[in-house]
Every structure is written in structure tokens, then in C-alpha cells.
Amino acid sequence: MKRILITGAAGFLGSHLCDRFIKEGFHVIAMDNLITGDLKNIEHLFKLENFEYYHHDVTKFVHVPGELDYILHFASPASPIDYLKIPIQTLKVGALGTHNLLGLAKEKNARILIASTSEIYGDPLVHPQTEEYYGNVNTIGPRGVYDEAKRFQESITMAYHRFHGVETRIVRIFNTYGPRMRLNDGRVIPAFMGQALRGEDLTVFGDGSQTRSFCYVDDEIEGIYRLLMSDYTLPVNIGNPHEITIRDFAEEIIKLTGTTQKVIYKDLPQDDPMQRQPDISKAKEILGWEPKVGREEGMRKTFEYFKTLSKEELERTEHRDFTKRNKK
Ligand code: UDP
């Protein structure tokens, strides 16, 4: 039985990866420090013999007994609200955490896949973004702690590959959504859906002309799985290229949820990218991958999930407006 370590296992993507690799017949070793993750995302796996969980902060030395075939490094805060709340941890997990896991991969002779992000392109001047684009990042802005940690992460990963011969893979993940997103992580989809469920107005930041392209989680996981199993060592964009303005997206959510509330406009956070759309030619060509789930279907499934959350949870996670803090 192949053994895989998944960091950030109690998070949104980490927990879906645990499910996938369990389904594929792997022995899954899940690791998380629960700063942003939640054990309820993986508690259904605890009864399985081929699943184990370690509560550990990967910025400290990482030890896993026994053999390891694969490592997936998915531990990191991943939303602008989180970077503002825990900027140092965000930097550390992308930099020191990645260093520790690359060291572990080298020691165990394991293949390691690193979760990078479209954020490494910053506020892009090339559209759609190809893997060859170097990006336009503000190092000292509020998103800098995430963007630069992820850029460093790619560099150190390539260095371990070239210098130590470690088998590495780098996925650049674009906006992904689905069940188990944290309702209060500040991202636009949980924000709008939470607001619709609480009967609040939907907060569009700026004039809403900025664009994003949203990928359903099942598609994202399939792309990551294929990349891990491929022999391609340079970064690959995995995301859905169907782009929409945030203003139009708010209207879609109003229709989907049936809310009678309206859209209200708030200040645009600093360094909020104006447009984002992955060029997925490489993923198509190398992995034979492209997304299958359209926005309508994916959003419906995601809203079904948010509807199952309790009233208390909805109230506890009331939308927080960080735009003022962003501006400092
Ligand atoms: N956004 C918004 N209202 C919200 C939350 C986010 O208009 O309540 C906007 C945000 O300014 C950004 C887009 O939605 O332009 C996507 O934001 P998210 O945080 O989901 O992802 P990211 O900016 O990291 O792509």
C-alpha cells in the first residue's frame, strides 16, 4: 500500500485530497495544526485503518515514522482575511514549512507536490496567465506575505529538484470552491452565500469590474492527482478558465439563492487583482485535464453544503469587513 503525507489535511483542499487518496487505496497520513483547518472536515476518516492524523505545525521539524511514497504540501492560510490575521504564520508555512517537507522528501525518497497559487502572478499584466508569466507582485502589500512565501516556495522546490534530485511537482491553483470552504474565510463565495443565508446584502468590493475564474473542487483535485502521477516537474496552472466579473457573479448568487437582498458596494481592498484567468493549455496537453463542472452546477452543490450549516454557525461567522484594515 502506497503511503502519502498530506499537510493542511483538515483544510478545504487538504480534506478533499484525503478523501481522494483514501479512495485510490493509499495509506493517508494527515497533518494539520488547525489554525485555519477544522477536524470536522476529516472526522469521517478517523475510523479507517489506512488513515492516521498528526496534530503538528510543519514549520517545526517534521518527523513521520516509516516509509513515505508521496507528500502533498497543502498547509497554508489561503484567504486575504487570514493573511491579515496571521501574516507571520503565512510566511513561515510557505517558507520554513516547505523547507522541512522538502527535507523530509529527500530523506524518505518521496515524490513531493507543492501547492502554489495564481497569487504568484500578483495583479497580472498578462491575460490569461500562462505559466511563463513572471507576475506583478507587491512585496510589501497585505497580500505580500502569501504571494512572496509562495514564490519562495517555488524557488526552493526547484532548488531541491535541481540540486538534490528530489522528485517535485508544482501546481498553481486558481480560485477553487466547493463544500467545506470556511464560511468566514472572507473569500467571495462563502461571503456571498453566507450573506444570502443570513438575509444580508451582498458586499461587492470596488465597482465589481474585477474578474475571477472559479474552479469546482472535484475538478481541481483531479488535476492535482494527475499532476502528481505525471513526470512533469515545472509549474502547471490548474483552474477553470470561465471568467466572470464579481458584479455579475453577485447577480448569479442572488438568483441561485433566491435572496431578496441587494448588492452593496464597499472599498476595494489594497492590491486586489483586477483580473484573473488561467491559461490551461499546459494542463490539457500534459495531463489531458480540463474542468468538467460548470459554475451553475458547482455553485448549486456548494450552496447545498452551506445550507446544512447550523443557524449558530451562520451567526458565529457573520461577515467581517476587513477593507479598512487592508488600507493601512
Ligand atoms: N470580494 C467581494 N466581496 C466579498 C469578498 C470578496 O467583492 O465579500 C471580491 C474581492 O475583492 C476579489 C474577489 O471578490 O476581487 C475574489 O475574492 P477572494 O477573496 O475570494 O479571492 P482572491 O481575491 O484571493 O482571488
What whole-number percentage of the chain has pLDDT above 90? 92
312: confidence class by pLDDT, cuts 50, 70, 90: confident
Which residues lie below 8 Å from residue 281, measured CB to CB, with a gap of 6+?
A: 130
311: confidence class by pLDDT, cuts 50, 70, 90: confident
Pocket lining for ligand 1, CB < 6 angstroms: 79-80, 175, 186-188, 191, 203-205, 210, 212, 246, 269, 272
b/e per residue, 216-229, with b = 16+ CB within 10 A?
A: bbbbbbbbbbbbbe
Query: Mean pLDDT of all residues in the chain?
Result: 95
Model pLDDT for residues 27-52, shown as the tens digit of each residue: 999 999 999 999 999 999 999 999 99
C-alpha cell at 231: 513526470
Closest residue CA from atom 21 of ligand 1: 187
Question: Which comes out higher in pLDDT, residue 315 or 136?
Answer: 136
Q: Which atom of ligand 1 is nearest to the CA of 80?
A: 19
pLDDT (mean) for 254-261: 96
Closest residue CA from atom 1 of ligand 1: 188
**Pairwise CA distance, residues 183 & 120, whole Å:** 25
Closest residue CA from atom 12 of ligand 1: 272
Closest residue CA from atom 6 of ligand 1: 188
Residue written as grid cell 472599498:
267
What pLDDT, on the 0 to 100 scale, is given for residue 184? 86
CB 213 within 8 A of CB 121: no
Distance 152 CA to ligand 1 centre (A): 24
Spatial CA neighbour of 136 closest among 155, 158, 154, 151: 151
Where do the DSSP E strands lie in 144-210? Answer: 168-173, 176-177, 202-205
pLDDT (mean) for 77-93: 94
For the annotated catalytic residues, the residue numbers are: 146
Residue 243 pLDDT greater than 90, yes or no? yes
Distance 81 CA to ligand 1 centre (A): 10
Distance 212 CA to ligand 1 centre (A): 8
What pLDDT, on the 0 to 100 scale, is given for residue 313? 79
What pLDDT, on the 0 to 100 scale, is given for residue 314? 77
pLDDT (mean) for 167-195: 96
Spatial CA neighbour of 137 closest among 116, 156, 160: 116
Kindly report the pTM of this predicted structure.
0.95
What pLDDT, on the 0 to 100 scale, is given for residue 318? 52
